[in-house]
Protein backbone atom coordinates (compact mmCIF):
# COMPACT_ATOMS: atom_id res chain seq x y z
CA UNK A 1 0.00 0.00 0.00
CA UNK A 2 1.44 3.39 -0.96
CA UNK A 3 1.99 6.10 1.64
CA UNK A 4 -0.43 9.03 1.52
CA UNK A 5 0.87 12.56 1.95
CA UNK A 6 4.12 12.04 0.04
CA UNK A 7 5.62 14.89 -1.88
CA UNK A 8 4.36 15.38 -5.43
CA UNK A 9 7.57 16.38 -7.17
CA UNK A 10 8.49 14.84 -10.52
CA UNK A 11 11.15 12.60 -8.98
CA UNK A 12 8.72 11.23 -6.40
CA UNK A 13 6.06 10.53 -9.01
CA UNK A 14 8.53 8.54 -11.10
CA UNK A 15 9.75 6.48 -8.12
CA UNK A 16 7.95 3.21 -7.37
CA UNK A 17 5.47 3.23 -4.54
CA UNK A 18 6.81 2.04 -1.20
CA UNK A 19 4.81 -0.74 0.41
CA UNK A 20 4.97 -1.78 4.04
CA UNK A 21 3.06 -4.62 5.64
CA UNK A 22 0.19 -3.29 7.68
CA UNK A 23 0.82 0.30 6.53
CA UNK A 24 -2.54 2.07 6.43
CA UNK A 25 -3.24 5.30 4.61
CA UNK A 26 -2.95 8.21 7.04
CA UNK A 27 -5.83 10.60 7.41
CA UNK A 28 -5.62 14.08 5.99
CA UNK A 29 -8.00 17.01 6.39
CA UNK A 30 -11.02 16.59 4.17
CA UNK A 31 -10.89 12.74 3.96
CA UNK A 32 -13.76 10.45 4.90
CA UNK A 33 -12.04 9.61 8.17
CA UNK A 34 -12.04 13.26 9.19
CA UNK A 35 -15.69 13.51 8.20
CA UNK A 36 -16.49 10.65 10.59
CA UNK A 37 -14.60 12.43 13.36
CA UNK A 38 -16.44 15.66 12.57
CA UNK A 39 -19.83 13.99 12.81
CA UNK A 40 -18.96 12.27 16.06
CA UNK A 41 -17.56 15.42 17.64
CA UNK A 42 -20.46 17.55 16.50
CA UNK A 43 -22.94 15.06 17.88
CA UNK A 44 -21.20 15.08 21.24
CA UNK A 45 -21.18 18.88 21.43
CA UNK A 46 -24.82 19.14 20.42
CA UNK A 47 -25.70 16.56 23.02
CA UNK A 48 -24.09 18.81 25.64
CA UNK A 49 -26.36 21.65 24.41
CA UNK A 50 -23.52 24.18 24.57
CA UNK A 51 -23.25 27.18 22.31
CA UNK A 52 -20.21 29.29 21.47
CA UNK A 53 -21.08 32.97 21.06
CA UNK A 54 -18.72 35.87 20.34
CA UNK A 55 -20.05 39.13 21.80
CA UNK A 56 -18.80 42.57 20.82
CA UNK A 57 -20.16 46.05 21.40
CA UNK A 58 -19.65 49.78 21.73
CA UNK A 59 -20.68 52.00 24.64
CA UNK A 60 -20.55 55.80 24.78
CA UNK A 61 -20.94 57.53 28.15
CA UNK A 62 -20.97 61.25 28.93
CA UNK A 63 -19.19 61.91 32.24
CA UNK A 64 -18.29 65.03 34.20
CA UNK A 65 -14.68 63.85 34.47
CA UNK A 66 -13.88 61.31 31.71
CA UNK A 67 -10.32 60.72 32.96
CA UNK A 68 -11.51 59.76 36.44
CA UNK A 69 -14.33 57.71 34.90
CA UNK A 70 -11.76 55.78 32.84
CA UNK A 71 -9.90 54.75 36.00
CA UNK A 72 -13.18 53.63 37.55
CA UNK A 73 -14.02 51.65 34.40
CA UNK A 74 -10.71 49.80 34.67
CA UNK A 75 -11.48 48.94 38.29
CA UNK A 76 -14.96 47.65 37.38
CA UNK A 77 -13.63 45.43 34.58
CA UNK A 78 -10.73 44.02 36.57
CA UNK A 79 -13.04 43.28 39.50
CA UNK A 80 -15.21 41.25 37.12
CA UNK A 81 -12.15 39.24 36.04
CA UNK A 82 -11.56 41.05 32.75
CA UNK A 83 -8.73 43.13 31.39
CA UNK A 84 -7.99 46.30 29.44
CA UNK A 85 -6.35 45.73 26.05
CA UNK A 86 -6.01 49.41 25.11
CA UNK A 87 -6.52 52.80 26.77
CA UNK A 88 -6.28 56.31 25.30
CA UNK A 89 -6.83 59.56 27.20
CA UNK A 90 -7.13 63.14 25.93
CA UNK A 91 -6.29 65.87 28.44
CA UNK A 92 -8.90 68.50 29.36
CA UNK A 93 -8.99 71.73 27.35
CA UNK A 94 -10.73 75.08 27.68
CA UNK A 95 -13.80 73.73 25.92
CA UNK A 96 -14.22 70.34 27.60
CA UNK A 97 -13.01 68.08 30.39
CA UNK A 98 -11.14 65.68 28.15
CA UNK A 99 -12.08 62.23 26.89
CA UNK A 100 -10.98 58.60 27.06
CA UNK A 101 -11.41 55.44 25.01
CA UNK A 102 -10.84 51.92 26.30
CA UNK A 103 -10.86 48.48 24.68
CA UNK A 104 -12.24 46.17 27.36
CA UNK A 105 -12.29 42.37 27.56
CA UNK A 106 -15.09 41.30 29.88
CA UNK A 107 -15.98 37.72 30.93
CA UNK A 108 -19.08 36.77 28.97
CA UNK A 109 -20.86 35.34 32.00
CA UNK A 110 -20.65 38.70 33.81
CA UNK A 111 -21.14 41.00 30.82
CA UNK A 112 -24.59 42.27 31.83
CA UNK A 113 -23.63 43.35 35.34
CA UNK A 114 -20.39 44.90 34.12
CA UNK A 115 -22.20 46.90 31.43
CA UNK A 116 -24.57 48.25 34.08
CA UNK A 117 -21.57 49.44 36.08
CA UNK A 118 -20.01 51.11 33.04
CA UNK A 119 -23.24 52.88 32.10
CA UNK A 120 -23.50 54.19 35.67
CA UNK A 121 -20.28 56.18 35.18
CA UNK A 122 -22.37 58.96 33.62
CA UNK A 123 -25.13 59.32 31.06
CA UNK A 124 -25.21 56.44 28.58
CA UNK A 125 -25.52 58.07 25.16
CA UNK A 126 -25.08 54.97 22.98
CA UNK A 127 -25.04 51.21 23.61
CA UNK A 128 -24.75 48.61 20.82
CA UNK A 129 -24.15 44.90 21.48
CA UNK A 130 -23.62 42.30 18.75
CA UNK A 131 -23.59 38.51 19.30
CA UNK A 132 -22.40 35.99 16.70
CA UNK A 133 -22.90 32.23 17.14
CA UNK A 134 -19.65 30.46 16.24
CA UNK A 135 -20.62 27.01 17.50
CA UNK A 136 -20.25 25.40 14.07
CA UNK A 137 -16.84 26.99 13.56
CA UNK A 138 -15.65 25.77 16.97
CA UNK A 139 -16.93 22.25 16.29
CA UNK A 140 -15.24 22.17 12.88
CA UNK A 141 -11.91 23.24 14.36
CA UNK A 142 -12.20 20.67 17.16
CA UNK A 143 -12.88 17.90 14.63
CA UNK A 144 -9.99 18.90 12.38
CA UNK A 145 -7.63 19.13 15.34
CA UNK A 146 -8.64 15.66 16.53
CA UNK A 147 -8.15 14.20 13.05
CA UNK A 148 -4.73 15.82 12.64
CA UNK A 149 -3.58 14.65 16.06
CA UNK A 150 -4.60 11.09 15.24
CA UNK A 151 -2.84 11.32 11.87
CA UNK A 152 0.36 12.63 13.44
CA UNK A 153 0.30 9.87 16.06
CA UNK A 154 -0.11 7.15 13.41
CA UNK A 155 2.63 8.57 11.21
CA UNK A 156 4.95 8.88 14.19
CA UNK A 157 4.34 5.23 15.07
CA UNK A 158 5.06 4.20 11.47
CA UNK A 159 8.23 6.29 11.50
CA UNK A 160 9.51 4.30 14.47
CA UNK A 161 9.21 1.00 12.57
CA UNK A 162 10.10 2.12 9.04
CA UNK A 163 13.40 0.90 7.56
CA UNK A 164 13.22 2.05 3.95
CA UNK A 165 14.91 5.41 3.33
CA UNK A 166 12.23 6.60 0.90
CA UNK A 167 9.49 5.75 3.36
CA UNK A 168 11.34 7.52 6.17
CA UNK A 169 11.65 10.69 4.10
CA UNK A 170 8.00 10.58 3.08
CA UNK A 171 6.89 9.99 6.66
CA UNK A 172 8.97 12.86 8.00
CA UNK A 173 7.60 15.18 5.32
CA UNK A 174 4.02 14.17 6.04
CA UNK A 175 4.50 14.54 9.81
CA UNK A 176 6.04 18.00 9.40
CA UNK A 177 3.18 19.14 7.17
CA UNK A 178 0.47 17.83 9.46
CA UNK A 179 2.21 19.17 12.56
CA UNK A 180 2.29 22.65 11.01
CA UNK A 181 -1.41 22.44 10.15
CA UNK A 182 -2.17 21.19 13.64
CA UNK A 183 -0.35 24.05 15.35
CA UNK A 184 -2.11 26.58 13.11
CA UNK A 185 -5.56 25.17 13.89
CA UNK A 186 -4.80 24.97 17.60
CA UNK A 187 -3.86 28.66 17.54
CA UNK A 188 -7.12 29.47 15.75
CA UNK A 189 -9.06 27.47 18.32
CA UNK A 190 -7.38 29.26 21.23
CA UNK A 191 -8.13 32.63 19.65
CA UNK A 192 -11.78 31.68 19.10
CA UNK A 193 -12.09 30.42 22.67
CA UNK A 194 -10.65 33.70 23.95
CA UNK A 195 -13.23 35.66 21.95
CA UNK A 196 -16.02 33.49 23.32
CA UNK A 197 -14.87 33.63 26.94
CA UNK A 198 -14.12 37.37 26.93
CA UNK A 199 -16.49 39.80 25.23
CA UNK A 200 -14.90 42.83 23.57
CA UNK A 201 -16.41 46.21 24.44
CA UNK A 202 -15.15 49.53 23.08
CA UNK A 203 -15.92 52.19 25.72
CA UNK A 204 -15.88 55.92 24.87
CA UNK A 205 -15.99 58.43 27.72
CA UNK A 206 -16.71 62.02 26.69
CA UNK A 207 -17.57 65.28 28.43
CA UNK A 208 -20.42 67.73 27.86
CA UNK A 209 -19.51 70.53 25.47
CA UNK A 210 -21.52 73.56 24.36
CA UNK A 211 -22.94 73.13 20.88
CA UNK A 212 -21.53 75.66 18.38
CA UNK A 213 -23.84 78.46 17.30
CA UNK A 214 -25.42 77.99 13.91
CA UNK A 215 -24.17 80.51 11.35
CA UNK A 216 -26.78 82.28 9.14
CA UNK A 217 -26.66 81.17 5.53
CA UNK A 218 -29.43 83.34 3.94
CA UNK A 219 -30.27 87.06 3.86
CA UNK A 220 -33.32 86.56 6.05
CA UNK A 221 -31.32 84.54 8.57
CA UNK A 222 -28.68 87.27 8.58
CA UNK A 223 -31.34 89.95 9.11
CA UNK A 224 -32.87 88.02 11.98
CA UNK A 225 -29.44 87.42 13.51
CA UNK A 226 -28.54 91.12 13.12
CA UNK A 227 -31.81 92.27 14.69
CA UNK A 228 -31.33 89.83 17.55
CA UNK A 229 -27.82 91.17 18.08
CA UNK A 230 -29.08 94.77 17.95
CA UNK A 231 -31.89 94.18 20.45
CA UNK A 232 -29.48 92.31 22.64
CA UNK A 233 -27.06 95.24 22.56
CA UNK A 234 -29.85 97.73 23.35
CA UNK A 235 -31.00 95.54 26.18
CA UNK A 236 -27.46 95.41 27.50
CA UNK A 237 -27.22 99.23 27.37
CA UNK A 238 -30.51 99.60 29.23
CA UNK A 239 -29.36 97.20 31.91
CA UNK A 240 -26.05 99.03 32.19
CA UNK A 241 -27.89 102.36 32.41
CA UNK A 242 -30.12 101.00 35.13
CA UNK A 243 -27.06 99.94 37.07
CA UNK A 244 -25.38 103.34 36.60
CA UNK A 245 -28.38 105.61 37.44
CA UNK A 246 -27.97 105.42 41.26
CA UNK A 247 -24.26 106.08 40.93
CA UNK A 248 -24.85 108.96 38.52
CA UNK A 249 -27.40 110.51 40.90
CA UNK A 250 -24.95 110.23 43.78
CA UNK A 251 -22.21 111.74 41.65
CA UNK A 252 -24.56 114.62 40.68
CA UNK A 253 -25.34 115.43 44.30
CA UNK A 254 -21.65 115.36 45.18
CA UNK A 255 -20.87 117.65 42.23
CA UNK A 256 -23.64 120.09 43.29
CA UNK A 257 -22.30 120.26 46.83
CA UNK A 258 -18.79 120.84 45.55
CA UNK A 259 -20.04 123.61 43.27
CA UNK A 260 -21.81 125.41 46.15
CA UNK A 261 -18.70 125.20 48.33
CA UNK A 262 -16.49 126.58 45.56
CA UNK A 263 -18.84 129.52 44.90
CA UNK A 264 -18.97 130.42 48.59
CA UNK A 265 -15.20 130.42 48.81
CA UNK A 266 -14.94 132.66 45.77
CA UNK A 267 -17.54 135.04 47.24
CA UNK A 268 -15.67 135.18 50.55
CA UNK A 269 -12.43 136.09 48.80
CA UNK A 270 -14.12 138.83 46.76
CA UNK A 271 -15.62 140.75 49.78
CA UNK A 272 -12.28 142.25 51.10
CA UNK A 273 -11.44 143.59 47.66
CA UNK A 274 -14.81 145.40 47.37
CA UNK A 275 -14.39 146.97 50.86
CA UNK A 276 -11.03 148.45 49.91
Condensed to tens digits (0 to 9), the pLDDT of residues 44-87 reads 433 334 789 999 999 999 999 999 999 999 999 999 999 999 99
At residue 101, the pLDDT reads 96
Query: Cα dist. 153→71, 134, 146 in Å?
Result: 50, 29, 11
* φ/ψ of residue 69, rounded to 5: -65, -35
- How much is the pTM? 0.55
Nearest Cα to Cα of residue 127 among 187, 62, 191, 183: 62
Residue 217: partners with Cβ closer than 8 Å, 6 or more residues away: none
- Residue ranges, the chain, pLDDT below 70: 1-49, 209-214, 271-276
At residue 209, the pLDDT reads 67
Q: Are 96 and 84 in contact (CB under 8 A)?
A: no
At residue 42, the pLDDT reads 38
Q: Which residues pair with 62 in a beta bridge?
A: 123, 206
Amino acid sequence: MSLAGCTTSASDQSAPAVSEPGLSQPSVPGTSEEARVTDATAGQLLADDTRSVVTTGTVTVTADDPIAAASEAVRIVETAGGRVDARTENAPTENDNGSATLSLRIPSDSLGATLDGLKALGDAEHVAINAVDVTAQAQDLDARISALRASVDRLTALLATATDTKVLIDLETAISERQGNLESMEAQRRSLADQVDLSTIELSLISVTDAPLAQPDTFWDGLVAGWAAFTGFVGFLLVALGVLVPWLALAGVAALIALVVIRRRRAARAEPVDAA
